[in-house]
Structure 1
């Protein structure tokens, strides 16, 4: 009886985390961890096509398909988390958990794919970005 109650509580906890969006079932990583993997490179300066090809492969965005577009932010995580403290603005999906700030980025755009080889054009700049936050953590790159 105690085991059944424990399992029920664990299942309920997992469902609650999924509902809150704090766990991504696909990779077993949280939305925050996925945001870090896909969008944060605080040590790099990026800005070119070879950077994009390397990073997109290393960060697992070329399998099973080439991701068409991705942005890497070249700021430390503290700077990115500070964006979550700015006033809320609407996200593309209409939710009100987005925030904007100016950061250094590299935009990677897919230009060709041939036999599993993804080719990207990279462009570095400083620009305004919009990220969705849950609490104090960035969880989605909106635009």
Structure 2
């Protein structure tokens, strides 16, 4: 009986926190965490083939298959999150939850692959990116371009 009471209180507390917006549902957090893992490297300068080869492997984008193309953003997370405050624009999939901003990036493009090795070429630049944002507060969940 005490266990049931404790579980009920725990559930009530969680629902209260969700209602206050202090806890985001896990689907939003996992999508945001995936965006961070795949696209954000605030401390790195990037720009070299070695950078791309290292980061693509370190961030898990060479298994089970080599990812063809990936962009790493080198601005701080506050700057990246702030793109979500820019005016809405249409995403490639037709949704209207995308936002654009200019950031420093390294684009990594697959140049060669073997059964155990993915090789990437790098291109560093400052350019416009389009990011899909979701949640409350809005956070980036997908790099659209």
Q: TM-score range by the shorter chain?
A: 0.7 to 0.9
Q: 2:97 — aligned with what?
A: 97
Q: Could you tell me how far apart the structure 2 residues matched to 1:108 and 1:66 are?
A: 11
RMSD: 1.9
Between Structure 1 and Structure 2, which shows a larger proportion of helix residues?
2
Alignment of 1:76-115 (within 5 A): 76-115=76-115
**Shift of residue 116 of structure 1?**
1.9
Q: 1:26 — aligned with what?
A: none
TM-score by length of 2: 0.80
Q: 2:70 — aligned with what?
A: 70
The C-alpha deviation readout for 1:50-93, integer Å capped at 9, x for no partner, is 10000000000000000000000001100001100000000000
Q: 1:137 aligns with which of 115, 136, 139?
A: 139
Q: Secondary structure at the match of 1:45?
A: coil
**Shift of residue 99 of structure 1?**
0.2
Q: Could you tell me how far apart the structure 1 residues matched to 2:116 and 2:84 are?
A: 36
Question: Which consecutive segments of 4 or more residues in structure 1 shift more than 3 A?
Answer: none
Q: Which consecutive residues of structure 1, in runs of 5 or more, have no partner in the other structure?
A: 24-29
Q: 1:22 aligns with which of 14, 28, 35?
A: 28
Q: Which consecutive residues of structure 2, in runs of 5 or more, have no partner in the other structure?
A: 16-24
When Rg is computed on C-alpha atoms for both structures, the one with the higher figure is 2
